[in-house]
Every structure is written in structure tokens, then in C-alpha cells.
Structure 1
Amino acid sequence: MPPLVTGIIASTLLLINILFWVTLLMTLLLLSKIIPVPAIRKVISRMMTGVAICWVYCNSGWMRLTQKMDWDIRLPEGLDKHGWYFVVSNHQSWVDILLLQHTLKGRAPFLKFFLKQELIKVPIMGAAWWALDFPFMKRYSKAYLEKHPEMRGKDLETTRQACEKFKEIPTSVVNYLEGTRFTPNKHEKQQSPFKHLLKPKSGGMAFAMSAMGDQFKSIIDVTIHYPDGIPTFWDFLQGKMKRCTVIVEEKPIPEELRQGDYENDDAFRQNFQQWVQQLWEDKDQSLAELAS
């Protein structure tokens, strides 16, 4: 089929999938608000996660119908869909989200992403992410914080509060450490020391560890490479993304980094940053080898 026709079909299936599952999700959310019994609310919360998992499987379904999916996906043995994981990945395109969901569905618990506060305004999807307790992060500029010092640490407190909710149901907490999608302009502006990555931000990850460090089984480290260039979401829907490589590695969390005061303990913060730096150096090396 011509790319335009493929894109229209894929977009239609994507929209139908969203509307069906979000309608069911919001119905369950309404029930949880009007029923005051904690035990029943807990059951409804698990049902909502089940709805979200079905949504992900249906996404994979329409992708298989409309995309050429002979992708190179490399997975480790032994991932537990009933456990808790912290997932890190490089970030280049909105396509990354669908790739992560497709790759880890049925192998790891449902993915919950750290999202920018502005995304709560996205029609339909913003409400769905909110209903599923995705953590929305509001980042403040240095200039703003100088005028409003009381707002320092507010985004990290949001991280801690969100992670407290994740203790009830097995969850994969996804944090894009770069904080934004990679582009050559951002890379140049940052003067990033990495060839294929932006600088990682470890604060949100550290606070998640502080809240749930003993509960996380390990790190799921995902490296995504697009051999033919980074696709836009519309490119993907049109079937123009012919190839991609997704490498998934399970890595241990150092015991000394599972708990600590990232904000006030200089030694802990330095050790945590060095660990994240090493993760990013290894990822940059992997991307360099894939690009060669």
C-alpha cells in the first residue's frame, strides 16, 4: 500500500484503540471515586492496570497489521512480570514509547512513564495517563528558582509521592534520564560528552530509588537504535520505519545506592551520578557499535 494509505489506516486503528480503552478506563475511575470502600478501590485499581495492559496488546496488534515488523529485538532471560523494575532508555522519538511497550509487554509489569507536566493537557491521553497514576514532572528554570526558592525540590517530591503509589501493584517505572528527546541541536547546545546521547539527569531516578529501592528487582536498561535515521511518529504510522534495533539488558542495582539522601549527602550523590554516568557511557558505546 502507498505510505499515505498505510498511515491513514494505522492512525484510524490507533484512534479506535485509544477511544475504546480510555472509555473503559474512565468508567472504572468513576467507580473508584464513588465507592468509598478501600478494598474495592484496590481491586478497581488492579482492573485499570489490566485495561491498560490490554490497550498495549492491541497497540501491538494494529502495529503488526500495518507495519513491517522484522525488527531486531534482543531480550534477556528471566524478566518477571510480577516484579518491580526501574527502566531507563535513550529517547529520540515518540515512537520509542510504542517500541518499549511492544518489547516488554508480557515480560515485565505495565510501564509507567515519568511525563512532563505539560502533557497532562494532551486530549484524551492526558486524562488516561493521570488516571493510571503516571507521575507528571514540572521542571523549573534556574531563573524561576532564584525568584521562588520555595519550589526547589518540588519535582523530586512528586517523584517520591508517585513511587509510593507503585508499591501496591507490580510496576515498571520508566524514566528517560535525558529529560527530553535527542536532537543534534540539543546535543550541540548541551555540549554533551556523549556522541549519541544527551547528558543524563539522575535526580528523579535517585528519588525513586529512595522511595522504592528495596522493592526494585533490578534495572531494565533499554537501548534503541534507528539504522535509517530517527523516524517521526507520522513516518512510523506510514510504515516508513523499516528497521530498528532494541537491546534490553537487566542490570543489578548496587546495594549502597538503593537508599540514600541524594539531596543532602554529597558522597551519596556523587556515587549515584558516577553510576549513572557509567550506564550512559556503556549505552553510548553500544549505540556507536550499532551505528558502525
Structure 2
Amino acid sequence: MSTLKGIVSILLLIITTLGWGIPLIALTLVKLITPGRRLRRLVLRGLNAVALNWIGTNLWWMRHWLKPRLDIRLPEGLSRNQWWLVLSNHRSWTDIFMLFFALHRRIPMPHFFVKRQLIWVPIVGLAFWAMEFPMLRRLSREQRERHPKLARRDREATERMCRHARERPIAIYNFVEGTRFTPAKHRAQGSPYRHLLSPRAGGIAQVIKLLGDRLSGIIDVTLSYENPSPSFWDFLCGREGAVTLEARRLPVPDWMLEGDYHDDPDYKERFHSWLNALWQEKDAALDSH
């Protein structure tokens, strides 16, 4: 029965994606031929509305069909008219919809750092490109050292997003570990945390440098699954265990606005210390679950 439920869930996800994909493709074509950034901003508003309705439609049927057991704890003072940086640990593709359940229409349209390969996913990849999500290569440290031009292109993609983000409130979501947690990745990485992979600081440091004066705060999200090995398929089958989502609002420290992560070693070390301390607190919170 649960497998059948999963198949129906996939069909519902495909139907909603195809349905909202029609106005998405139409607006993308309009954007391609629209001259001037000011007019393209109007088209981008339409694209954002399509994306928000796609999210809302999926949350509606998931809430009634899958009935996820989700315990949400949010801070006060969230607004759709402000800029936010959302940081979260990463366990499963399910995380994305858990964040949507908690934050949809409470803060602005979400923008993710996404892997460049996702550009080839039908409709979804087009949406990422049309809505100006930064498409990154997710290079390892060794790859960045061997191919500095590729690393520079990733930074340029983030710069474009942040430059455009100053035009309207957005929420930038970042799974700071860079990939989903698995025991194998945890062992291979030699992570110092029990429940987390080591965080990557470069992306969020760049966002704060370029957009820090706009940010109303950092939303630090900790996701905890009752199931030790959560999967998106189990979620679609309605057999995922209870999920706890705890979010807290953090201020952007003044010192973060005054340095350069890539050119100032002292600033870089201080940023890493701040992020590692945040991850230690998150690891301790996951211990309590």
C-alpha cells in the first residue's frame, strides 16, 4: 500500500510540475526577449509567483495525502518584506519540503545554491536558470586549487544573484555541508561532529559580504529525523517518521560586514570559528533528540 502511495505521490508531483511549467516556460520566453533590467524584473516577479504557487500546491496535497508528522518551532519577527539567509543541516531531499512547510510565505521567495548538473532536469532546471539561482560546481578544495577559474566562476554566479537580490527581498537557503549526510560520507570526511558533516563557509561568507547590509538576520535551522536514514521515497510513501524543525534567528555580527573572506586570512579564520561554533551547537541539539 505504501509503495502505491509513493507512485501516486510521484504522479502528483509530476502533474503539478507540468501544470505550473506551462506559465513558467511562457514567462521564461518573455524574459529572454524583454529588453532592460527594469522590465525583466517585472517578468521575474511573475516567475516568482509561479514558483510560490508550485510550492503551495505541492504542500497542500502533501499535507492532506502524506500527512507528515512535523514539529515546527519558529522564531518571531519573520517577514516576507525583508532579506534572510537560511542555514540548515542536510539529510535528505525531504529537507527542502520540510523547509517549505515551515517558511513558505512567511519569508520571501526561496533561492537555493544548486548543483550545476540540475540545469538538465526538465522544467526544474529551467526554473532555476530563469529565476537566477546560482548554479555551482561544488568543487572540492583540491579541485579549486587545480582549477581556480572554475572556482572564480562559482563566485561570479553568487555575485550576480546577490547583485540582483538587492532589488527585492529574497531568502537565500544554503545547506552548508554541501551534500546530504550519510555515515559513509561522515567517515570519509573525518567530520568532528557526531551528526553533521563539516560546514563550508565560502558561499555564505560571500553572501554576507555582498548582501549583509540588507539582511534582517540569519535563520539557523536544525532538522532532526526520527528515522536514522531518511529518504525522499519514504516521505512520498507516507512512511517517514516524525521530523522536528527548530529555527532560531541570529543577528549578522558587525565584524562580518567589514572583511573579505577570500583575501583576508584573519577574517577567514574568524568566520570559520564562528561557523564551527554554530555547528557544534547544532550537533549538541541533535544529540538531545
Task: Please give the TM-score of this superposition, normalised by the length of structure 2.
Answer: 0.95
C-alpha change, 1:114 and 1:12, in structure 2 (3 Å) is same
Say whether residues 1:237 and 2:242 are aligned partners.
no
- Partners of 2:145 and 2:108 in 1: CA distance: 40
Aligned to 2:24: 25
Amino acid at match of 1:155: D
Amino acid at match of 1:123: P
- Partners of 1:24 and 1:101 in 2: CA distance: 21
| Maintained 8 Å contact 2:219/2:249 | yes
SS in 2 for 1:278: helix
C-alpha change, 1:65 and 1:270, in structure 2 (3 Å) is same
Displacement of 1:213 in angstroms is 0.8
- Partners of 1:9 and 1:145 in 2: CA distance: 42
- Partners of 2:69 and 2:114 in 1: CA distance: 30
- Partners of 1:85 and 1:111 in 2: CA distance: 9
Displacement of 1:146 in angstroms is 5.0
Amino acid at match of 1:105: H
Aligned to 1:172: 171
- Partners of 1:256 and 1:146 in 2: CA distance: 28
C-alpha change, 1:233 and 1:33, in structure 2 (3 Å) is same
Aligned to 1:69: 68
C-alpha change, 1:226 and 1:57, in structure 2 (3 Å) is same
SS in 2 for 1:193: coil
Say whether residues 1:193 and 2:211 are aligned partners.
no
| RMSD between superposed Cα atoms in Å | 1.6
Aligned to 1:7: 6
Amino acid at match of 1:159: T
Displacement of 1:123 in angstroms is 2.4
Flag structure 2 segments of 5+ consecutive residues without an equivalent: none
SS in 2 for 1:240: coil
- Partners of 1:202 and 1:158 in 2: CA distance: 16
Displacement of 1:125 in angstroms is 1.2
| Maintained 8 Å contact 1:109/1:170 | yes
- Partners of 2:143 and 2:71 in 1: CA distance: 44
Amino acid at match of 1:103: A
C-alpha change, 1:148 and 1:239, in structure 2 (3 Å) is closer
Question: Greater CA deviation, 161-170 or 10-19?
Answer: 161-170
| Maintained 8 Å contact 1:46/1:169 | no
- Partners of 1:48 and 1:281 in 2: CA distance: 38
Deviations 1:183-238, CA, capped at 9 Å, x for gaps: 00110111111000000010111011111010111001111111122321111111
SS in 2 for 1:86: strand
Question: Greater CA deviation, 85-94 or 138-147?
Answer: 138-147
| Identity, % of aligned positions | 40
| Maintained 8 Å contact 2:209/2:260 | yes
Aligned to 1:263: 262
Displacement of 1:151 in angstroms is 3.8
| Maintained 8 Å contact 1:17/1:59 | yes
- Partners of 2:134 and 2:61 in 1: CA distance: 27
- Partners of 1:183 and 1:245 in 2: CA distance: 19
Displacement of 1:130 in angstroms is 1.1
Question: Greater CA deviation, 178-187 or 221-230?
Answer: 221-230
- Partners of 1:82 and 1:143 in 2: CA distance: 40
C-alpha change, 1:195 and 1:251, in structure 2 (3 Å) is same
C-alpha change, 1:23 and 1:254, in structure 2 (3 Å) is same
Displacement of 1:22 in angstroms is 1.8
C-alpha change, 1:142 and 1:249, in structure 2 (3 Å) is closer
Aligned to 1:288: 287
| Maintained 8 Å contact 1:57/1:102 | no
SS in 1 for 2:57: helix
